[in-house]
């Protein structure tokens, strides 16, 4: 029998197939954008043969949670759009936290797909439908309940998007205008996702002092709607939330034992990142960014905001009240790069100014667009979530100018280097399953996430002894070490730490 011929043949590496099974010897052949798994001594011919001795070949990583919806469409060089693929990510799930590119900048899922096809991508993108984006398109940025007709309209738009290939429904219930919705509104929309067999993916209404109550709201929504539940970047943050993973994780495990389809994702850092405006109470955002900026110009309104942070607002996740301005640093302020990396408390002290005034003035100067880093978590909580059998890996990457959180460039290699090799928290096959097969199954990515005959040829070749993150808060986009090769749709897109000219990625229909 004539030996099969491939475009690329990888031999000498151990195979982590994405299922969590032990590493196995074998060879990987790629042709026509598809994979063939061969015995180690099987005869084969190829246009290119890669000796990957000492390495592991795995399915390409699938990032369960990004905010990279538009990154490849606006790659000006200020923020590299390739940080994810450089660490082995071959599929990014965007549209998270209630914020998607449609129906907003793009009319619908198809328009977003066409835009990315025209621009070219090194890796693939899948997108959820953001509830906040949907609500703003139909209801506007108003702090009020949706009418029956408006909810009907949101359900129709969501139904069309899911039917076109969107991966599910996301909410960001700490962010306006999504936070203006009650449980019943979200449940009605989640029921649409359920009819499509797609998940309800939620940034909980509170991840701090009221995280357990917020988790129960998500559970009610899933039960009443019938949708699978996925909890985004599960954490118990702020001094009043530290240690609560000792209760939330057993609760999720018990729900799974009862038959509920519930999962979560996690990033391997004790700091988060979001917009500075999210530190202000929900009522301040009523009417949208323009009205927020008007209020910030008013000293009386500033006083109200200051009091709200000090005293709290019912139902509001008060990040500063749970931590303090000393834990909030500026990550991105285009007109004020000299402030990058500095805490709000430090800036205020240097100026001899009130912290809320510093925040208000900075938001006004930047027209509301300031990104922050929030040092709000504890390492033991992070490790507990990482080790949970139902947790998968998501970077929550926010690819914006300035000093973005290093998770955008370091999440997956950090898990493999620090938590697998150095700390032994996870075994390598288990960690890779959390990055591949588990995520593909959750988001309906058929033929991806597992190395098997006929599967899509998205894969990564890594050196398990050398793989590590290099990105830091001071230098957050450093290319990781130990990623030897990344293949997307059968084309080599990364080799030895450099992105090639190949752009085979596309927006995937789920």
Domain boundary (429, 446, 463) is at 446
Residue 127 lies in a domain: yes
Among the candidates 372, 387, 413, a domain finishes at 372
243 and 131 co-located in one domain: yes
CA 363/CA 11 separation, integer angstroms? 54
Residue 257: which residues within 8 A CB-CB, separation 6 or more?
Answer: none
- Number of helices (H), then strands (E), belonging to the chain: the values are 16, 23
Distance separating alpha carbons of residues 207 and 218, to the nearest angstrom: 12
Same domain, residue pair 318 and 216: no
| Structural domain ending residue among the three candidates 372, 396, 415 | 372
**Is it true that the peptide bond before 177 is cis, omega within 30 degrees of 0?**
yes
| 177/103 Cα distance (integer angstroms) | 14
Query: Is position 306 within any domain?
Result: yes
200 located within any domain: yes
Residue range of the domain that includes 348: 276-372
Query: Domains in the chain: how many in total?
Result: 2
Whether 139 and 200 share a structural domain: yes
pTM above 0.75, yes or no: yes
Let me know whether 106 and 158 are in one domain: yes
Q: Assess if residue 391 is contained within a domain.
A: yes
Same domain, 214 and 144: yes
Any domain includes 4? no
Same domain, residue pair 162 and 307: no
Same-domain pairing of 260 and 384: yes
In a domain, 293, yes or no: yes
Nearest-5° Cα angle at 481, 477 to 486 = 90
Report if residue 91 sits inside a domain.
yes
Burial of 252 (0-12, 13-18, 19+ CB in 10 A): buried
Judgement on whether residues 144 and 293 belong to the same structural domain of the protein: no
pLDDT tens for the chain, residues 1 to 510? 678 999 999 999 999 999 999 999 999 999 999 999 999 988 999 999 999 999 999 999 999 999 999 988 865 545 578 999 999 999 999 999 999 999 989 999 999 999 999 999 999 999 999 999 999 999 999 999 999 999 999 999 999 999 999 999 999 999 999 999 999 999 999 999 999 999 999 999 999 999 999 999 999 999 999 999 999 999 999 999 999 999 999 999 999 999 999 999 999 999 999 999 999 999 999 999 999 999 999 999 999 999 999 998 988 998 998 889 999 999 999 999 999 999 999 999 999 999 999 999 999 999 999 999 999 999 999 999 999 999 999 999 989 889 999 999 999 999 999 999 999 999 999 999 999 999 999 999 999 999 999 999 999 999 999 999 999 999 999 999 999 999 999 999 999 999 999 999 999 999
CATH value at residue 424: 3.20.20.140
Distance of alpha carbon 302 from its chain centroid, rounded? 32
Instruction: Mark whether 107 and 256 lie in a shared domain.
Output: yes
Q: Does 119 lie in the same domain as 259?
A: yes
Distance CA 256, CA 248 (A): 13
Helix or strand holding residue 84 (H, E)? helix 83-86
Q: What are phi and psi of 7, to 5 degrees?
A: -70, -40
**Whether residue 156 is found in the same domain as residue 65:** yes
323 belongs to a structural domain: yes
Judgement on whether residues 230 and 262 belong to the same structural domain of the protein: yes
| Six token digits for residue 373 | 């880093």
In three state form, how does the secondary structure of 95-146 look?
CCCCCCCCCCCCCCHHHHHHHHHHHCECCEEEECEEHHHHHHHHCCCCCCCC
């Amino acid at each position: 029998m004539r030996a099969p011929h491939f475009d690329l043949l990888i031999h000498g590496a151990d195979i982590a197939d994405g299922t969590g099974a032990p590493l196995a010897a074998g060879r990987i052949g790629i042709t026509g954008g598809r994979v063939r798994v061969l015995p180690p001594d099987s005869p084969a011919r190829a246009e290119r043969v890669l000796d990957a001795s000492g390495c592991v070949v795995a399915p390409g990583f699938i990032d369960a949670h990004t905010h990279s919806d538009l990154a490849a469409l606006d790659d000006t060089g200020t923020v590299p759009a390739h940080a994810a693929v450089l660490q082995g990510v071959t599929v990014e799930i965007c549209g998270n936290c209630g914020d998607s590119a449609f129906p907003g900048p793009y009319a619908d899922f198809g328009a977003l797909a066409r835009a990315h096809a025209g621009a070219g991508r090194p890796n693939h993108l899948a997108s959820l439908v953001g509830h906040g984006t949907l609500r703003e398109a139909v209801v506007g940025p108003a702090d009020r309940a949706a009418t029956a007709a408006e909810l009907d309209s949101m359900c129709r738009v969501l139904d069309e998007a899911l039917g076109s290939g969107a991966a599910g429904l996301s909410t960001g219930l700490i962010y306006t205008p999504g936070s203006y919705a009650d449980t019943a509104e979200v449940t009605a929309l989640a029921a649409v996702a359920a009819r499509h067999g797609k998940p309800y993916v939620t940034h909980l209404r509170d991840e701090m002092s009221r995280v357990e109550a917020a988790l129960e709201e998500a559970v009610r929504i899933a039960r009443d709607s019938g949708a699978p539940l996925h909890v985004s970047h599960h954490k118990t943050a702020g001094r009043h939330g530290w240690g609560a993973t000792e209760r939330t994780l057993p609760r999720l495990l018990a729900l799974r034992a009862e038959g509920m389809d519930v999962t979560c994702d996690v990033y391997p850092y004790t700091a988060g990142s979001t917009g500075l405006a999210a530190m202000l109470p929900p009522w301040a955002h009523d009417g949208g960014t323009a009205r927020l900026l008007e209020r910030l110009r008013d000293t009386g309104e500033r006083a109200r905001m200051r009091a709200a942070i000090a005293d709290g607002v019912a139902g509001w996740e008060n990040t500063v009240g749970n931590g303090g301005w000393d834990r909030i640093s500026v990550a991105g302020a285009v007109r004020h790069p000299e402030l990058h990396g500095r805490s709000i408390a430090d800036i205020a002290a240097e100026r001899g100014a009130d912290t809320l005034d510093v925040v208000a003035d900075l938001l006004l100067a930047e027209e509301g667009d300031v990104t922050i880093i929030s040092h709000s978590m504890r390492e033991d909580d992070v490790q507990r979530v990482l080790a949970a059998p139902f947790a998968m890996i998501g970077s929550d990457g926010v690819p914006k100018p300035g000093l973005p959180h290093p998770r955008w460039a370091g999440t997956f290699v950090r898990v493999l280097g620090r938590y697998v090799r150095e700390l032994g928290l996870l075994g390598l096959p288990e960690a890779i399953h959390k990055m591949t097969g588990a995520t593909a199954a959750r988001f309906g990515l058929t033929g991806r996430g597992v190395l098997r005959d006929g599967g899509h040829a998205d894969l990564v070749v890594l050196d398990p002894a050398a793989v590590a993150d290099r990105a830091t808060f001071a230098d957050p986009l450093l290319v990781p070490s130990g990623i030897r090769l990344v293949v997307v749709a059968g084309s080599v897109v990364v080799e030895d730490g450099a992105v090639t000219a190949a752009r085979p990625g596309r927006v995937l229909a789920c």
